[in-house]
Chains A and B, each alone.
Chain A
Amino acid sequence: MKKEEMVKLISAEGFEFVIDKKAAMVSQTIRNMLTSPGSFAETEHGEVTFPEISTTILEKICQYFYWSLQYASGKETEFHIEPELTLELMMAANYLHT
């Protein structure tokens, strides 16, 4: 697996999520960050840090990315969201334009 195809998303607690670049690009915000390097301070060597997003939420977001790719390719399943995460997840998703 080529390194260029993977990106690293880092949560507020410093947890690192390594995911496919294609998955990360589901988020418009991340797409912008990665496709115009230098304009975003957070992006460095394919790494994006999100100091305002907690680990649990970031994990869920990564799951959504993959689910989204799956859905787009025809496999339509349900994406379950735990009620207690809802508001926080919603705010993060809003920020990430996803």
Chain B
Amino acid sequence: MMRKVPSLVDLCVRVAVDNVRYIGNVGETENHLLERILPHCTLDQLKHIEDSTENRDLSPITDKLWKEFYKRQFGDDSINILVERMRQKKVMYKWKQLYEAKLKEREKATQESCDRLRKRYLEVNAKKQSRQVQLCTKVPSSSAKRSYSGGVVANNIYNTKSGLMKKAKIEFINSREVKNIAAMKNKAVQRSHSVSSPVKRVTSSGPSGLPSSSSSSSKLTKPIQRRF
């Protein structure tokens, strides 16, 4: 029995369809062959093929494919409106162009929408911020606090209820590094302000600007002394 042998054309079409993603320039491939292959393309694949195939207008085959893509993306209603409009104006546009135009329009609308939303968020945020308590960078000056190695830090000692934390904080204050920084700060402040005498005595004593350990009994009491 003579079986029907698959034609070479059919075999090629089959392979082409399987490999449609690799197709670029279709050159002079006959229309009826393209009709069998191109419907298997995705939108991007079709676009690539059309872009790669120079000097040839593929729209006799691709126009209806683009119409289908348009329909899928933008819906039947949109298509019907366009078809009607074109009929009235007696104009025929290529569906590829219509698709690309519509896509652009959508993208623009989305972008504008995003921008509006972003603006709204910023406005709401700004409003919230204006009601919040703002942190000041400038510490209000007061003679009592100026001599502390770190005014705010000293305050923390007041607030500490736990003895262990208190001790730790005091040790930190009395560490060399903190003392140095405080001394530099105090020296700068000294130049610009007049200071009450007890405070002055304290700050001008050691090389670091703070009283040396020999002049008093314990480290613990010094910060307290300096305060008054």
Query: Is A93's CB within 8 Å of the partner chain B?
Result: yes
B residues contacting the other copy or chain, number (CB 8 A): 22
User: Judging by beta carbons under 8 Å apart, are A86 and B15 in contact?
Assistant: yes
User: Judging by beta carbons under 8 Å apart, are B3 and A87 in contact?
Assistant: no
A76-B3, A87-B26 are known; give 8 further A-B pairs, CB within 8 A: A81-B15, A86-B12, A86-B19, A87-B12, A89-B12, A90-B9, A91-B28, A96-B8
Q: Which of B5-44 contact A (CB under 8 A)?
A: 5-9, 11-13, 15-16, 18-19, 22-23, 26-30, 33
User: Judging by beta carbons under 8 Å apart, are A87 and B23 in contact?
Assistant: yes
Query: Smallest distance from the beta carbon of B30 to chain A beta carbons, Å?
Result: 6
A residues whose Cβ falls under 8 Å from a Cβ of B: 61, 64, 68, 71-72, 74, 76, 79, 81, 83, 86-87, 89-91, 93-94, 96, 98
Q: Could you say which of A79, A83, A87 contacts B11, with CB atoms under 8 Å apart?
A: A79
On chain A, the residues within 8 Å of B135 by CB distance are none
B residues whose Cβ falls under 8 Å from a Cβ of A: 2-3, 5-9, 11-13, 15-16, 18-19, 22-23, 26-30, 33
Q: Could you say which of B3, B9, B19, B28 contacts A72, with CB atoms under 8 Å apart?
A: B3
User: Judging by beta carbons under 8 Å apart, are B5 and A90 in contact?
Assistant: no
Q: Could you say which of A71, A76, A91 contacts B29, with CB atoms under 8 Å apart?
A: A91
On chain A, the residues within 8 Å of B33 by CB distance are 90-91, 94
Q: Could you say which of B18, B23, B26, B30 contacts A94, with CB atoms under 8 Å apart?
A: B30
User: Judging by beta carbons under 8 Å apart, are B22 and A83 in contact?
Assistant: yes
Q: Could you say which of B5, B18, B26, B27 contacts A71, with CB atoms under 8 Å apart?
A: B5
User: Judging by beta carbons under 8 Å apart, are B12 and A90 in contact?
Assistant: yes
Give the residue among B3, B8, B13 with the most A Cβ atoms within 10 A.
B8
A36 to B114, CA, bound (A): 73
On chain B, the residues within 8 Å of A64 by CB distance are 8, 11
On chain A, the residues within 8 Å of B29 by CB distance are 87, 90-91
Given A83-B19, A86-B19, A87-B26, decide whether A93 and B12 contact each other with a Cβ distance below 8 A.
Answer: yes
A68 to B9, CA, bound (A): 13
User: Judging by beta carbons under 8 Å apart, are A86 and B3 in contact?
Assistant: no
User: Judging by beta carbons under 8 Å apart, are B7 and A98 in contact?
Assistant: yes
**Can you identify 11 A-B contacts, CB atoms within 8 angstroms?**
A64-B8, A71-B3, A72-B2, A72-B5, A79-B11, A83-B19, A90-B8, A90-B29, A91-B27, A93-B9, A98-B7
User: Judging by beta carbons under 8 Å apart, are B8 and A89 in contact?
Assistant: yes
A86 to B62, CA, bound (A): 20
On chain B, the residues within 8 Å of A91 by CB distance are 27-30, 33
User: Judging by beta carbons under 8 Å apart, are A94 and B27 in contact?
Assistant: no
Which 5 residue pairs are nearest across A and B when measured between Cβ atoms?
Answer: A90-B12, A93-B8, A83-B19, A93-B9, A81-B15
